Structure 1
Amino acid sequence: MNTKKLSLQEYRSKLLGCWIGKNVGGTLGAPFECKRGVFEVDFYTQDLNGEPLPNDDLDLQLVWLNVAEKYGRNLTATILGEYWLSYIVPNWGEYGAGKNNLRQGLVPPLSGYVNNVFGDSNGAYIRSEIWACLAPGNPDVAVKYAYEDAIVDHCSEGVYAEIFFAAIESAAFVEGDRDTLINIGLSYIPADSGVAKGVASARDAYARGLSWQEARIQVLNDVPGSFGILAMRREDLPSDVPIGRMGYDAPSNVGITIIGWLYGEGDFGNSICIANNCGEDTDCTAATIGSILGIIGGAERIPTKWTDPIGDSIKTLCLNLGDQGLQIPKTVTELTDRIIRLTPSFLGSQLVDVVTPTDGYTIEVKEKEQLFSQSKQINAWTHRSFADKLNESPFQVAYDFVIFSAIVDYKEAPFIQEGTTKTIKIIIDNQLFMQQWLQFKWHLPSGWTITPGAKIAASLEQYHCHVGRTELEFSFTPSGLEEARYDLIVEITSQGRPTKGLIPLVFMNGPSSR
């Protein structure tokens, strides 16, 4: 049983620090975004007139705040995807690829994977702070929602990057040691990932006494990206680093963020400037390290040199504010206050004590050793860790029907061709400690065939102190293909229960492609 507590006063200071740091870093870095090279900036380079620059790094998270206020801990990637389509305007890069897939009926994680060359880019990790702020000192909770967020429009390295920073930022509410925090973040992602390699490259350069300029070269050679070439002519590009694969940008930019943190030596201004001066996705790298240092030190540790020029306001860039449905905070203070009001219901009474404190609620947080990723015992036979979640195929789509949950495993990208048999797997987990009989009924396009049959029964067992799992494979053969897209529905009924689970499956007529 945890006994460590985070007071409301300390929580509020760190929340303010997070969002102020995000605003400062994003404003500093915005003019240098998509540029490759080494810069020599030590302060803002534009006239601000008391306001920050608009930045997608922050305003996307204002939409997620609205989702969390409505759905709480029940929010899912599918819900986030619907909000994305409704309220987020840009169609560039991974944002556009994810939206295009969602419009076609492909739900997460398929929406983040299919035909998405930017799935390994930076658009997910820049929105990690909201989950850390809603789960301070509980990184195991923060990464759960960071994953749901990232798979809407990213895959692989793009997902790992958001999880890495969400874990760090959540732990930073209760742990201030830089190396410990980096290790906590690494514990939640694959050790052989590109993000982990980018972090290791930055740490190696720092340990060997290289300058930050040399560290930049090492990182961009170890995990080459291409974000810094987007706003430059090829003939103007420096020759000290290679051009990486299009869209493979999270590993290098995470590494640059770590360079800023290491070489900044805990100084807020130095850290964000070094990250910015390494180029590439500068508003993202500077804003992320700004938010981390803002959480560690609290709002009062951010120098007024940085805060006075931009004030308290939030400027949006990417949001649909014309349609009703969102309530967007206009200031950092309003954003902070709304999170403070939301956290007790989001975390629940097991972690937030709203009864006994005299100075506002307290939040139960993890002890230091518990901040790292750990496997959890599900029952006498089963342990699961967050690594198990990350090892799942990007073709597995999850559904929850209260008394049972289901995973549809497409096994590969959802493309079909005339007369070619397609096999999918459905995995059912019993969420009751009692046996169930399930009936599967398929609704298929005319002329299609399916084995073992369009109507079958299956037992969903319950073993002593252990809920059961049933896995079924279905193979169908499409015929008479005339449409570009086909929708299938499998109807799953638990006998003697009112629950009826309807799962839509979407397939595109054409050759398989990412």
Structure 2
Amino acid sequence: MLLDLNTYRDKVMGCWMGKNIGGTLGAPFEGKRRIFDVVGYTEEVNQNPPPNDDLDLQLVWLNAVEKYGPTVDARILGEYWMSFIIPDWAEYGAAKANMRMGLVPPLSGHVGNPLKDSCGSFIRSEIWACLAPGQPEMAARYAYEDAIVDHSGEGVYGEVFWAALQSAAFAESDKWKLIQIGLSYIPDNCGVARGVKLAIDAYRSGANWQEARKVVMNGVPGTFGLMGQPISDMETDIAIGEPGWDAPSNIGITIIGWLYGEDDFGRSLCTAVNCGEDTDCTGATLGATLGIILGRQALPEEWTAPLGDVINTKCIHNLSVTLSVPSTVTELTERVLRLAPSFLGYPIVDILAPGGYTLQMKEGDELFCRNDDRYSKGVYNYGLPKNPTKLRDVVSRAPYAVLFDFVAFSAILDYREDPFFCPGEARTVRIQLETSDFMNHPQWLELKWYLPEGVKLAANSTSSVFLPTYNMGKTELEFTFLADEFKGDRLEALLDITSRGRHSRGTVPVLLLKGTASF
């Protein structure tokens, strides 16, 4: 299926316009657990909408992709996060604190982060869907790299779900198929999947949206709607969940808005917002999704005219000349369109097509996550390599496994648990080594450890390892640190890896902190 440039432009612009509409509609009601009766904007926007982090965080990712293209990954995004994202609250602050300590993604989003399962990452799915239209597997991979910067678990599943769904929405408009496509990219038994299925079951049972809201909020209970709300105002028939476990219920609410809106744009967004909780996130995500399906030209003027074309930001440190922040939906759309050819590459993009470039999109069953040995649960790891065993193996280790790619070979550092050590106790890490998937050549690797004073390895710190042809397996090694004489509270070791006879060489830093995680 081909996507022509004009249709692509209309859908991308519809995405960002819908995002702006939903965020503006829902922002005044964020963090309240009650049923509302919103039928339109409650603020005077006068073609100058208030800033909202649901949109402006993605403008930082736009800059990262403009510089690094398809090589952008979690560590690059982490550096941009540290440099240009202002907030230190909630999961954003936890991730920044972790990265300041030297913990790289996915550890940065997991360790000591009680809000790792919350909503702050699924609100960033649209940039990946717009850059990979009709390519949900690709959008899901980049969404994973994005989410692990500051989230783990349900927070990651939420962004992967929406990125895959929204990417598929460029090629498919049936909401039931789109929801099933999104679900195919996340575990069947995760909280996000349960929240979505509860909303569907309630709708199909004939329940009204208020009843469906209760079903979802009691089935996957969160706490977002209790922010700053007096106990006396709480609904007694709604469960109070584990603090920070908010992505499942809010994604379920977004699905409620979509289903009960009965294909009416305004009604859909208002229904989602009227359910309460994280209202700017639910409204903005649904608005963006419907904007992709409908396109900018089909969005109702009663919703678009009050906002105009303006984008305002509040979460971006924009004093540096190195960051270029679009100020309008039109500018954002055009920059995405300029990126697509280099981001997607040939043969997906035909830059010589008459009337502007065209994009090849998947369609039908191709939009679903593959269920054979190359099952794309591997997006929770490090992309989609040719070797299917890597996908199955690495997914079971997240969020403690960190990838290092050194061209001729890759190394995965697996902490196996939170990256802490206790004096007097041995601490073991695992290193998985594999020939890169583009090579079909065996090689020898030489490994040498550099350890701080007072730290020893249970075995020799120097060794040689043989790597077979890429499709013949991999090598796993375990290293045990003995830190009985170590006096510090931050153990930093370096593993130097050299491919014998090649110029590929890399360093794997290992960081262990004294003590235990608090969450």
Equivalent of residue 405 in structure 2, options 391, 396, 400? 400
Q: Partner amino acid for 2:487?
A: E
8 Å contact kept, 1:435–1:461:
yes
8 Å contact kept, 2:453–2:486:
no
Matched residue, 1:444: 451
8 Å contact kept, 1:373–1:385:
no
Residues 311-346 of structure 1: per-residue CA shift (max 9 Å, x gap):
101000100012231100000000000000000000
Distance 1:36 1:386, change over 3 A: farther
Q: What's the offset of the Cα at 1:79?
A: 0.6
Q: What's the offset of the Cα at 1:500?
A: 1.5
What is the distance in 1 between the residues matched to 2:359 and 2:243?
42
Equivalent of residue 141 in structure 1, options 138, 154, 157? 138
What is the distance in 2 between the residues matched to 1:50 and 1:365?
35
Matched residue, 2:483: 478
Q: Which runs of 5+ in 2 are unaligned?
A: 375-383
Does 2:370 align with 1:374?
yes
Distance 1:194 1:399, change over 3 A: same
Matches for 1:341-490 after TM superposition, within 5 Å: 341-355=338-352, 357-375=353-371, 383=388, 390-431=395-436, 432-462=439-469, 466=471, 468-490=473-495
Q: What's the offset of the Cα at 1:486?
A: 2.1
8 Å contact kept, 1:120–1:159:
yes
Equivalent of residue 503 in structure 1, options 496, 501, 508? 508
8 Å contact kept, 1:433–1:467:
no
8 Å contact kept, 1:36–1:238:
yes
TM-score (norm 2): 0.95
What is the distance in 2 between the residues matched to 1:374 and 1:400?
25
Matched residue, 1:270: 267
What is the distance in 2 between the residues matched to 1:387 and 1:302?
42
Q: Give the 3-state SS of the residue equivalent to 2:133 in structure 1.
A: coil
8 Å contact kept, 1:21–1:290:
yes
8 Å contact kept, 1:430–1:467:
no
Residues 209-247 of structure 1: per-residue CA shift (max 9 Å, x gap):
101011101100000000000031111112120111110
Does 2:100 align with 1:95?
no
8 Å contact kept, 2:458–2:482:
no
8 Å contact kept, 1:376–1:383:
no
Q: What's the offset of the Cα at 1:482?
A: 3.0
Q: What's the offset of the Cα at 1:511?
A: 2.6
Matched residue, 2:381: none
Q: Partner amino acid for 2:511?
A: V
What is the distance in 2 between the residues matched to 1:488 and 1:263?
55
Residues 337-360 of structure 1: per-residue CA shift (max 9 Å, x gap):
0000000000001200001x1110
What is the distance in 1 between the residues matched to 2:178 and 2:475?
39
Q: Which runs of 5+ in 1 are unaligned?
A: none
Residues 243-285 of structure 1: per-residue CA shift (max 9 Å, x gap):
1111000000000000000000111000000000000000000
What is the distance in 2 between the residues matched to 1:98 and 1:133?
26
Does 2:205 align with 1:200?
no
Matched residue, 1:57: 54
Matched residue, 2:180: 183
Equivalent of residue 211 in structure 1, options 196, 208, 212? 208
State the number of aligned residues: 508
Q: What's the offset of the Cα at 1:429?
A: 1.1
Matched residue, 1:257: 254
Q: What's the offset of the Cα at 1:505?
A: 1.0
Matched residue, 1:317: 314
Matched residue, 2:380: none
Q: Partner amino acid for 1:175?
A: E
Q: Give the 3-state SS of the residue equivalent to 1:491 in structure 2.
A: strand
Matched residue, 2:292: 295
Distance 1:451 1:459, change over 3 A: farther
Matched residue, 2:379: none
Work out the percentage of aligned pairs sharing the same amino acid: 53
Q: Give the 3-state SS of the residue equivalent to 2:285 in structure 1.
A: helix
Q: Give the 3-state SS of the residue equivalent to 2:433 in structure 1.
A: strand
Residues 415-446 of structure 1: per-residue CA shift (max 9 Å, x gap):
01112101111001102211211111001111
Q: Partner amino acid for 1:372?
A: F
Equivalent of residue 164 in structure 2, options 160, 164, 167? 167
Q: What's the offset of the Cα at 1:382?
A: 5.1
Q: Give the 3-state SS of the residue equivalent to 2:67 in structure 1.
A: helix
Q: Partner amino acid for 2:73?
A: T
Does 2:102 align with 1:105?
yes
What is the distance in 1 between the residues matched to 2:361 and 2:393?
24
8 Å contact kept, 1:414–1:507:
yes
Matches for 1:20-59 after TM superposition, within 5 Å: 20-59=17-56
Does 2:235 align with 1:232?
no
Residues 181-232 of structure 1: per-residue CA shift (max 9 Å, x gap):
0000000000000000000110011001101011101100000000000031
What is the distance in 1 between the residues matched to 2:472 and 2:62?
34
Q: Give the 3-state SS of the residue equivalent to 1:336 in structure 2.
A: helix
What is the distance in 1 between the residues matched to 2:12 and 2:147?
22
Distance 1:15 1:387, change over 3 A: farther
Q: Give the 3-state SS of the residue equivalent to 2:466 in structure 1.
A: strand
8 Å contact kept, 1:36–1:229:
yes
8 Å contact kept, 1:481–1:509:
no
Distance 1:389 1:489, change over 3 A: closer
Q: Partner amino acid for 2:188?
A: A
8 Å contact kept, 1:225–1:252:
yes
What is the distance in 2 between the residues matched to 1:323 and 1:131?
25
Q: Give the 3-state SS of the residue equivalent to 1:398 in structure 2.
A: strand
- Between 427-436 and 340-349, report the one with greater CA deviation: 427-436
What is the distance in 1 between the residues matched to 2:315 and 2:16?
18
Q: CA RMSD in A?
A: 1.7
Q: What's the offset of the Cα at 1:392?
A: 3.5
What is the distance in 1 between the residues matched to 2:130 and 2:157?
19
Q: Give the 3-state SS of the residue equivalent to 2:249 in structure 1.
A: helix
Q: Give the 3-state SS of the residue equivalent to 1:38 in structure 2.
A: coil
Q: Give the 3-state SS of the residue equivalent to 1:359 in structure 2.
A: coil
Equivalent of residue 155 in structure 2, options 153, 158, 169? 158
What is the distance in 2 between the residues matched to 1:389 and 1:261?
34
